[in-house]
Chains A and B, each alone.
Chain A
Amino acid sequence: MLVVDKITKRFPGVLALEDVSLTIEAGKITALIGENGAGKSTLMKVLSGIYQDYDGQVIFKGQTVRFSSPKDAQEQGIAIIHQELNLIPYLSIMENIFLGRELITQYGTLDKRKMKMRTQELLDKLKLSVKPETLVASLKVGQQQVVEIAKALLTESEVIIMDEPTSAITESEVEVLFEIIDDLKKQSKAIVYVSHKLDELFRIVDHYVVLRDGKSIESGNMKGITQDVLIQKMVGRSIQVMRKEACEKRADNLLTVKRLFLKHPVRAKEDLLKNITFSVQKGEIVGIFGLMGAGRTELLETIFGLHPFVSKSEIHIENTRIIINSPSDAIKAGLALVPEDRKKDGLVLGMDVKTNICLTTLPDLEERGFLSELKESLLSKKYISELKIKTSSPYQQAKNLSGGNQQKIVLAKWLATKPKLLLLDEPTRGIDIHAKSEIYKLILSLADAGLGIVIVSSELPEILAVSDRILVMAEGAITAEFSAKEATEDSILKAAIPKSVYENQL
């Protein structure tokens, strides 16, 4: 269906793709696998018409093509569904699907009746039971993704490229997505599936193509390969995810949270957090697992002072009750929060590495009321070398670094505050395996040094690998607690599925 033949794409000073060749077949799901920076996104941009100047050729249905724009690619039958969804929140599903290709009546007005009909057909096909007039803003992320797929189907796309489609949706939505993908496959569409989550790939993918450093390393049938071998091919060396050794029960209370509630910002009767009580010991890593919307992020944010406290809630640090009304109170109490979305909440992307690292500790970096260039530079250099942040200099802008290195900057700026307790929200989201293992190592060594760590993650293997104790959240409450030994994927998942979902299905 689609053949990529010896594509080379150069950027000033960088060879992003070098002689990449691969074949994508109709009625098959092909996985594009590689670490961040391996060239996946560049390749997708070539295929979807964003980049037009490259060497080599793309052969689509037997003909050499060179798309002049994403619209051109779409019209010829290649659709891409980006990781960050490209929908307009305050337009309806129908308006989004027909954006840029609205149907017109003979009088030149919008043919709403026909568009509504077509939208309804698509939604039925994709089993999304909402009305075409529903505003996209009121849909869940998983449903929005289905709308994106509907958009691709409207143009009768034959190749559908999905970039990390499961990164933001719940397990049950993943199941729905996989059913849809399976249906598309049966309609002999060619699917290109890009994901970091290897277990998913083994479930649904037929073929794989591994990219590394801009080259296509290997391709083959998914059935004939194991996860370990695949990882080895991605990173070029084998990496073992270490498992934390059980820490001896130190019964040294670091954080105690009692009766934490959080009101829904709009719906007054609804609680986002319901009576949360838990504690963290010194040197302990507590994993919190929950599906999207379980309240994991809100829990960390509330502890960190980003949401108003309810008076009956209590937070104790080292057995002393403290009041936290703002992040600066939390920092004073020895807390640090590495947020879920590092680009939005973690970094000032336009500032350099040094300035980002120093941002949390500026009062310590002053001399006679002025910032000391020397102190700033010493502090940033210390963390750049300790955390092995790969940057050309401390003066490099944060936006030019890879995801893994950006995450290390965020960690560095929090370690600089000498925290007692680290709150980590999805600390390895969207970063490659190599950086991941470095961050795991760092987390483990910090716990060894006596820090308490709370890690929120939607990746079960990650939670299982690093935690001493695992709390499971669903619908704003803690539904189960496991020690590292007794926890299994099944038992955790069972506790994480909201009861209301069961009820809805009955």
Chain B
Amino acid sequence: MNLQTYRANLIRFQSLIALFILCLALSILSDKFLTVSNAWNVMRQISVNICISTGMTLIVLTAGIDLSVGSVLALCGAITAGLLRNGIEVPSGNLYIGFTLLGAVIAGILTGSFLGAFNGWAITKFKVPPFVATLAMLTIARGLTMLWTQGFPISGLGDTFLYFGTGWLLGIPVPVWISGIIVLIAVLITNKTRLGRYIYAIGGNESASKLSGINVNRVKIIVYTIAGALAAIGGILVTSRLDSAQPNAGTSYELDSIAAVVIGGTSLSGGRGSILGTVQGAIIIGVLNNGLVLLNVSPFWQQVVKGFVILLAVIIDKSNSKND
């Protein structure tokens, strides 16, 4: 019995243990790793992935997936940047609408929510598999980004806007605050609310959930909408940090995000996993990236290493659930 609890705890904290070992190893290998500035640097870098991955976790828990987050992130970042800098001009009506900072940010987040809701709508209304629906959105949103930006970065967004991505509050970087609050809310939703319970139930057994009177389609649309909004927030953070909305921003971010979710122990078949697991997954990926850079490992090798880490994490997770 005691051994079992011990084992259970070991499994529960395995990604934390892995993270600890990783940090320990990097501290020995590089004297730049274990410094306050590097720690904040890593946290700042991964806060975007944490934003996206929180939404991705909710989706994966319902046994879905969202491949469009990277493109949605780029589009929303570009829309916020574009509105902030240029506003909207309607030549025929001789109309010009200027945007305040808050207005531009809200417009960006609404765009993300709308694209997410569109994903959810296609998935529930037409029974398009999430993989396909969000793959389509990946292309659509990237195309819209190119149209909106005409293929050029939008830069020079003003110091106030840069505060989101580069500022500090009470000694902690602003993006870390933002992602932290998002994580906190998501943890509350998943553990303490009806919506959260329904998300797990749908992932665990969709048809039983439907028969239990759960409005499965509504829950799914809500979840994809949340993920879209979070991708938009990620887009705003990225844009703010670079002081520039890049048309090709966020490329392959969906992969880092899925990796964080999977390393965090959330099952791709749904119903099992947690937000905090994903946060650990995102930190592991972030620390790994950072460490490999500090160790002067070539970026090409970094990708190879990251791939194996993902594979290893899933293999360990599988063997654990088999022993359950």
* CB atoms of B215 and A351 under 8 A apart: no
* CB atoms of A363 and B215 under 8 A apart: no
Contact with B along A342-363 (1 / 0, CB 8 A): 0011111111000100011011
Q: Which one of B192, B194, B204 lies within 8 Å of A350 (CB-CB)?
A: B204
Given A351-B200, A351-B201, A363-B194, decide whether A346 and B272 contact each other with a Cβ distance below 8 A: no
Contacts of B188 in A (CB 8 A): 370
Contacts of B197 in A (CB 8 A): 355, 359, 362, 371
Interface membership of B212, Cβ < 8 A: yes
Count chain B CB atoms within 10 A of each CB in A327, A346, A359 and give the residue with the most: A359
B222 CB to closest chain A CB, in angstroms?
15
Q: Which one of B193, B198, B201, B213 lies within 8 Å of A369 (CB-CB)?
A: B193
Q: Which one of B193, B204, B207, B211 lies within 8 Å of A351 (CB-CB)?
A: B204
CB closest chain-B residue, reference A355: B197
Contacts of A328 in B (CB 8 A): 213-215
* CB atoms of B211 and A339 under 8 A apart: yes
| Assembled-state Cα–Cα distance A363/B200 (Å) | 16
* CB atoms of A327 and B211 under 8 A apart: yes
Contacts of A351 in B (CB 8 A): 200-201, 204, 271
* CB atoms of B212 and A359 under 8 A apart: yes
* CB atoms of A331 and B213 under 8 A apart: yes
* CB atoms of A326 and B201 under 8 A apart: no
Contact with B along A192-209 (1 / 0, CB 8 A): 000000000000000000
* CB atoms of A362 and B194 under 8 A apart: yes
Given A348-B204, A348-B271, A350-B204, decide whether A359 and B209 contact each other with a Cβ distance below 8 A: yes
* CB atoms of B194 and A347 under 8 A apart: no
Contacts of B212 in A (CB 8 A): 327, 359-360, 413
Contacts of B7 in A (CB 8 A): none
Q: Kindly identify, within residues 186 to 230 of chain B, every residue whose CB is under 8 Å from any CB belonging to chain A.
A: 188, 192-194, 197-198, 200-201, 204-205, 207-215
| Assembled-state Cα–Cα distance A348/B211 (Å) | 11
Question: Number of residues in A with C-beta < 8 Å to the partner?
Answer: 27
* CB atoms of B211 and A346 under 8 A apart: yes
Contacts of A363 in B (CB 8 A): 194
Contacts of B272 in A (CB 8 A): 350
* CB atoms of B192 and A371 under 8 A apart: yes
Contacts of B205 in A (CB 8 A): 344-345, 347-350
* CB atoms of B211 and A337 under 8 A apart: yes
* CB atoms of B207 and A344 under 8 A apart: yes
CB closest chain-B residue, reference A358: B197
* CB atoms of B213 and A348 under 8 A apart: no
CB closest chain-B residue, reference A366: B194
Q: Which one of B193, B194, B209 lies within 8 Å of A348 (CB-CB)?
A: B209
| Assembled-state Cα–Cα distance A356/B211 (Å) | 12
Contacts of A360 in B (CB 8 A): 212-213
Given A359-B197, A370-B193, A371-B197, decide whether A346 and B213 contact each other with a Cβ distance below 8 A: no
CB closest chain-A residue, reference B271: A350
Q: Kindly identify, within residues 334 to 390 of chain A, every residue whose CB is under 8 Å from any CB belonging to chain B.
A: 337, 339, 344-351, 355, 359-360, 362-363, 366, 369-371
B288 CB to closest chain A CB, in angstroms?
30
| Assembled-state Cα–Cα distance A349/B204 (Å) | 7
| Assembled-state Cα–Cα distance A349/B197 (Å) | 14
Contacts of B215 in A (CB 8 A): 326, 328
Q: Kindly identify, within residues 53 to 77 of chain B, every residue whose CB is under 8 Å from any CB belonging to chain A.
A: none
* CB atoms of A327 and B192 under 8 A apart: no
* CB atoms of B210 and A327 under 8 A apart: yes
CB closest chain-A residue, reference B269: A350
| Assembled-state Cα–Cα distance A371/B194 (Å) | 7
* CB atoms of B193 and A345 under 8 A apart: no
Given A326-B215, A328-B213, A351-B201, decide whether A346 and B208 contact each other with a Cβ distance below 8 A: yes
* CB atoms of A348 and B208 under 8 A apart: yes
Contacts of B209 in A (CB 8 A): 348, 359
| Assembled-state Cα–Cα distance A144/B172 (Å) | 65
CB closest chain-B residue, reference A328: B213
Contacts of A306 in B (CB 8 A): 210-211
Contacts of B211 in A (CB 8 A): 304, 306, 327, 337, 339, 345-346
Contacts of B208 in A (CB 8 A): 339, 344-348
B208 CB to closest chain A CB, in angstroms?
5
Contact with B along A215-252 (1 / 0, CB 8 A): 00000000000000000000000000000000000000
| Assembled-state Cα–Cα distance A348/B188 (Å) | 22
CB closest chain-B residue, reference A414: B212
Contact with A along B5-24 (1 / 0, CB 8 A): 00000000000000000000
| Assembled-state Cα–Cα distance A379/B209 (Å) | 19
Contacts of A366 in B (CB 8 A): 194
| Assembled-state Cα–Cα distance A366/B196 (Å) | 13
B164 CB to closest chain A CB, in angstroms?
29
CB closest chain-A residue, reference B267: A350
| Assembled-state Cα–Cα distance A328/B216 (Å) | 11
| Assembled-state Cα–Cα distance A345/B211 (Å) | 7
Given A359-B212, A360-B213, decide whether A370 and B200 contact each other with a Cβ distance below 8 A: no
* CB atoms of B193 and A359 under 8 A apart: no
| Assembled-state Cα–Cα distance A498/B213 (Å) | 34
A160 CB to closest chain B CB, in angstroms?
31
Contacts of A345 in B (CB 8 A): 205, 207-208, 211
| Assembled-state Cα–Cα distance A345/B213 (Å) | 12
Contacts of A344 in B (CB 8 A): 205, 207-208
| Assembled-state Cα–Cα distance A326/B215 (Å) | 8
B255 CB to closest chain A CB, in angstroms?
27
| Assembled-state Cα–Cα distance A349/B200 (Å) | 12
| Assembled-state Cα–Cα distance A351/B212 (Å) | 14
| Assembled-state Cα–Cα distance A363/B213 (Å) | 11
| Assembled-state Cα–Cα distance A114/B38 (Å) | 71
A13 CB to closest chain B CB, in angstroms?
10
CB closest chain-B residue, reference A370: B192
Contacts of A304 in B (CB 8 A): 211
| Assembled-state Cα–Cα distance A391/B5 (Å) | 19
Contacts of A350 in B (CB 8 A): 204-205, 271-272
| Assembled-state Cα–Cα distance A169/B174 (Å) | 64
A465 CB to closest chain B CB, in angstroms?
27
CB closest chain-B residue, reference A326: B215
Contacts of B201 in A (CB 8 A): 348, 351, 355, 359
Contacts of B194 in A (CB 8 A): 362-363, 366, 371
Contacts of B207 in A (CB 8 A): 344-345
Contacts of A339 in B (CB 8 A): 208, 211
* CB atoms of B213 and A371 under 8 A apart: no
Contact with B along A312-342 (1 / 0, CB 8 A): 0000000000000011101100000101000
Q: List the 3 closest pairs (A to B, CB-CB), nearest first.
A: A348-B204, A328-B213, A331-B213
Which residues of B pack against A, CB within 8 Å? 188, 192-194, 197-198, 200-201, 204-205, 207-215, 271-272
Taking A350-B204, A350-B205, A371-B194 as known contacts, 20 extra A-B pairs with beta carbons closer than 8 A to each other, sorted by chain A number, are A327-B211, A328-B213, A328-B215, A330-B213, A339-B208, A344-B205, A345-B208, A346-B208, A347-B208, A348-B200, A348-B204, A349-B205, A355-B197, A355-B201, A359-B197, A359-B201, A360-B213, A362-B194, A362-B198, A413-B212
Which residues of A pack against B, CB within 8 Å? 304, 306, 326-328, 330-331, 337, 339, 344-351, 355, 359-360, 362-363, 366, 369-371, 413
| 16 intermolecular pairs with C-beta atoms under 8 Å apart | A326-B213, A326-B215, A330-B213, A339-B208, A344-B208, A345-B205, A347-B205, A348-B205, A348-B209, A355-B197, A366-B194, A370-B188, A371-B192, A371-B193, A371-B197, A413-B212
